Amino acid sequence: MSLVLYITVMAGITYLIRAIPFTFFTKKIRSRYLRSFLYYIPYAVLSAMTIPAIFYSTGSVITAAAGTAAALILSYFGMPLIVVALSASAAAFIAGLFL
Amino acid sequence: MVKELRRGMVHGIPIALGYLSVSFGFGIKAVRSGLSVLTAAIISALNLTSAGQAAGVEIIAAGGPLLEMILVQLTINIRYSLMAISLSQKLDEKFTFPHRLAASYGITDEIFAVCSAQERKITPAYMYGMIFVAFLGWVSGTALGAAAGQLLPEPINNAMGIVLYGMFLAIIVPPARKKLSVFIVVAIAAAISVLIKYCLEFITSGFAVIISAVIASAVGALFFPVKEDSV
């Protein structure tokens, strides 16, 4: 099977999955239930993607837990995204030095 | 216009930094699977997604059937459809049909997350700025990883793995702190995700995210409907 065909199919499917709903949902959704559902979706998606995957993101549950703790504390106090993200990484790195 | 573009680019910087490390890993994996540096970079430029690309490269390496490629991409990436519908409700009037066609290319977990966290409407310029910067991080990271193999020392590479998740937490924690409803939805989604990971192992990670998010949001919408103007 040709490489070009694989890559075309892969990219085509990935694009259509995004483009079809994004392009054709042009009207405001009226149903209060659906609007509430869509309001919660981003938070629910991110939560499900993060937990428990975050604990396996650094190759060691202990360093990942240190990074997670740093991220939770800093985001609780409303620090900017980049600060929280890099501090989580720094905390995981420092914890790794002690292992 | 220019201001919006620049605002999007600035908001794209943490995304691009996170992407650098993740796509670096993808580049290494692609070359190990027998692809060239150029092919790896092209795949990253065309798809702009992590899990889907990793699975796709495995299918290519194994010479799997095209049907498998289609089904796997559908399953892993179907979450983007939910995100696209959610985001479609937040778009500025400037988002005409051609803009929607173009910007839909850049709906990733992270770009969606940052866009939905914005208080104001999303303009095309804002999204393009963010997509452009994220794209640079994603494609250059892939090329670097593919070309240089393990360029970064292992401890740094490992620590970089948490960057994107740290960003996700920074997005969900502040609203969860302010609103009990968001906190409950976030907790339900996390609990189902954990349950699936450890008890229902046959469910792939893409499906796990969809199931967890849909149930949690459905419960949230049922018990805590939002006010008319807050979406």
The reply to whether B163 touches chain A by the CB within 8 Å rule is yes
d(CA A93, CA A96): 5
Domain that holds residue B195: 179-231
The reply to whether A41 touches chain B by the CB within 8 Å rule is yes
Is residue B105 in some structural domain?
yes
Nearest chain B Cα to A85, which residue? Answer: B166
Q: Assess whether B104 and B218 both reside in one domain.
A: no
The reply to whether A17 touches chain B by the CB within 8 Å rule is yes
Predicted ipTM of the assembly: 0.86
The reply to whether B71 touches chain A by the CB within 8 Å rule is no
Contact between B81 and A20 using a beta-carbon 8 Å cutoff? yes
Question: Which whole-number Å values give the CA distances from B160 to A63, B9, B17, B137, B168, in the listed order?
Answer: 11, 21, 9, 14, 14
Picking from B13, B155, B159, the nearest residue to A82 by CB comes out as B13
Q: Which of B168, B198, B227 to mutate to test the interface with A (most CBs of A within 10 A)?
A: B168
Is residue B100 in some structural domain?
yes
pLDDT at site A96: 94
The reply to whether B100 touches chain A by the CB within 8 Å rule is yes
Summarised one tens digit per residue, pLDDT across range B197-227 is 999 988 776 678 778 989 999 999 999 998 8
Summarised one tens digit per residue, pLDDT across range A41-53 is 888 888 988 899 8
d(CA B123, CA B146): 34
Q: How many A-B residue pairs are in contact by the CB < 8 A criterion?
A: 297
Is residue B129 in some structural domain?
yes
Summarised one tens digit per residue, pLDDT across range A9-56 is 999 999 999 999 999 887 777 889 988 988 898 888 889 888 998 999
pLDDT at site B64: 84
For residue B68, is pLDDT > 60? yes
> Which positions ≥6 away from B103 have C-beta within 8 Å?
A22, B95, B124, B127, B128, B131
Is the alpha carbon torsion for B190, B110, B105, B52 positive or negative? Answer: negative
d(CA B1, CA A86): 30
For residue B60, is pLDDT > 60? yes
- Of B104, B129, B160, the residue that ends a domain is B160
Give the residue-averaged pLDDT of A73-99. Answer: 91
d(CA B57, CA B44): 11
Q: Assess whether B125 and B191 both reside in one domain.
A: no
Picking from A36, A64, A68, the nearest residue to B221 by CB comes out as A36
Q: Which residues are bridge partners to B91 per DSSP?
A: B122
Contact B143, B85 (CB under 8 A): no
Is residue B188 in some structural domain?
yes
Summarised one tens digit per residue, pLDDT across range B140-187 is 999 998 887 656 677 877 787 787 788 889 889 999 999 999 999 999
Q: Which positions in chain A touch B10 (Cβ < 8 Å)?
A: none
Q: Which positions in chain B touch A2 (Cβ < 8 Å)?
A: none
Q: Assess whether B40 and B78 both reside in one domain.
A: yes
The reply to whether B159 touches chain A by the CB within 8 Å rule is yes
Summarised one tens digit per residue, pLDDT across range B4-50 is 999 999 999 989 988 887 788 788 778 878 899 999 999 999 999 98
- Of B132, B160, B188, the residue that ends a domain is B160
Q: Assess whether B145 and B43 both reside in one domain.
A: yes
- Of B160, B187, B218, the residue that ends a domain is B160
pLDDT at site B206: 64
Give the residue-averaged pLDDT of A66-80. Answer: 95
Picking from A10, A47, A85, the nearest residue to B190 by CB comes out as A47
The amino acid present at B209, given as its one-letter code, is V
Is residue B168 in some structural domain?
no
Biggest alpha carbon–alpha carbon distance for chain B = 53
pLDDT at site B93: 92
pLDDT at site B231: 46
Number of structural domains, chain B? 2
pLDDT at site B224: 96
Q: Assess whether B188 and B137 both reside in one domain.
A: no
Is the alpha carbon torsion for B223, B224, B229, B231 positive or negative? Answer: negative
CA distance A7 to chain B (A): 7
The reply to whether A65 touches chain B by the CB within 8 Å rule is no
